[in-house]
Structure 1
């Protein structure tokens, strides 16, 4: 039975991935920002374990994990959690920059560091759910895009460093997806939200699970998913 550590499993793409893996009987370790969220995830995915730590404060993740039981083996680490705060460069405060860089880039790096020993044991797989903003930057998306460009660099470097240990690394770049984050973006931009225009989270989950299940003789490095409508 494979063991998967997933961030962002409470909604959107992360929840869709967790549902797929849970339904087939795999073991889940679901990250939660606090005890309340962990309780919700445990109820949503019976039998799953939870791991609590605030991604917005990556400096304290090591302390948080030291007080919890960590899985001895990890087959897949799936980074889905993310935040976005739109704004022009002339308006964004250091707080907005720090928040997005912490959650979207530094916390994934720290989580990966903690789980690398377990991933090496099982020749596991690290999946970074990036964004189209990790490949290009548009106006008012500077901080978010910078965090996602950094996430691409993290994945590319990790892939080269861990290839000899048998650890696979995949970056997935979804276009606009019908998630709570997309609702927030539309509100910030003053636009009407229509979920039918965007990718269903289940479709992104299909691509992620495909990459995870790929036989060991191959590896998906980068996967771009765009709206088909």
Structure 2
């Protein structure tokens, strides 16, 4: 296997399952020393972290600085979603989603920047197609992901001269444990999966490993001239117009 991250240190947030777990494992398989930060247990070098607490990002980066003395790759994957229209949801739900999905990545980038500058690091933020459009009853989630896309471009512009690249991925429907559980809760899961597949030109939903491959490419030297970009990975869902 190609060891394109040999000698590098990476942080992946929200790596207990799904895209974060797949990304952390892929980075490790390709030679990186991987730290994971989330509320629950995960693989690799685990930092227990609750990103709803504004003090957490600084503590996480300080832990890595002390343990490894370097950080080459930052993957901001941790996220939360609460449903409810603007008149249904609470302000607490709004602030939680903005904190975890947008402010925590901003603070992680801020505190990690001195380390990332040392070796010309790479940041990959996990946004969403909901930063480009919206599913029903997701105002705070959409706002946070659109903000994360904007933050991605701003960091790329400001810190390109420092040798730091910053990109984002915008996944569509991915078979994370949360989404799989949702499908299985339907009255006819097989029929629902068939229906959800038909909103994708390739007629299926995505796998966490497919997103992880894109994330790892963006974090690698193979993407050395790529920065400030938002890569949609959705099986063509947002390219397909709905029928009347």
Query: Same fold by TM-score, threshold 0.5 exceeded?
Result: yes
Closer, same or farther in 2 for the Cα pair 1:49/1:170, shift >3 Å? Answer: same
Decide whether the 8 Å contact of 2:128 with 2:171 is kept in 1: yes
Give the C-alpha shift of residue 25 in structure 1.
2.8
Give the C-alpha shift of residue 114 in structure 1.
1.1
Decide whether the 8 Å contact of 2:38 with 2:78 is kept in 1: no
Write the distance in 2 (CA, Å) between the matches of 1:55 and 1:120.
Answer: 24
Compute the TM-score of the two structures, normalised by the length of structure 1. Answer: 0.85
Secondary structure (helix, strand or coil) at the match of 2:222 reads: coil
Query: Which residue is equivalent to 1:137?
Result: 134
Match of 2:53 among 57, 69, 72: 57
Compute the TM-score of the two structures, normalised by the length of structure 2. Answer: 0.80
In the alignment, structure 1 residue 14 sits paired with structure 2 residue 20: yes
Query: Which residue is equivalent to 2:232?
Result: 224
The structure having more radius of gyration, on CA atoms, is 2
Query: Which residue is equivalent to 2:117?
Result: 120
Listed as ranges, the gaps of 5+ residues in structure 1 are none
Give the C-alpha shift of residue 190 in structure 1.
9.1
Secondary structure (helix, strand or coil) at the match of 1:153 reads: helix
Give the C-alpha shift of residue 55 in structure 1.
0.3
Write the distance in 2 (CA, Å) between the matches of 1:95 and 1:213.
Answer: 38
Moved more, 20-29 or 75-84: 20-29
Listed as ranges, the gaps of 5+ residues in structure 2 are 1-6, 198-203, 238-244
Aligned length: 219
Query: Which residue is equivalent to 2:209?
Result: 202
Closer, same or farther in 2 for the Cα pair 1:111/1:153, shift >3 Å? Answer: same
4+ residue runs of structure 1 moved beyond 4 angstroms? 63-68, 183-193
Closer, same or farther in 2 for the Cα pair 1:70/1:149, shift >3 Å? Answer: farther
Decide whether the 8 Å contact of 1:83 with 1:181 is kept in 2: no
Q: Say what the alpha-carbon RMSD is for the aligned residues.
A: 2.7
Write the distance in 1 (CA, Å) between the matches of 2:224 and 2:59.
Answer: 37
Deviations 1:92-130 (A, max 9, x none): 101110111111001111111111100000100010010
Closer, same or farther in 2 for the Cα pair 1:103/1:70, shift >3 Å? Answer: farther
Decide whether the 8 Å contact of 1:199 with 1:228 is kept in 2: no
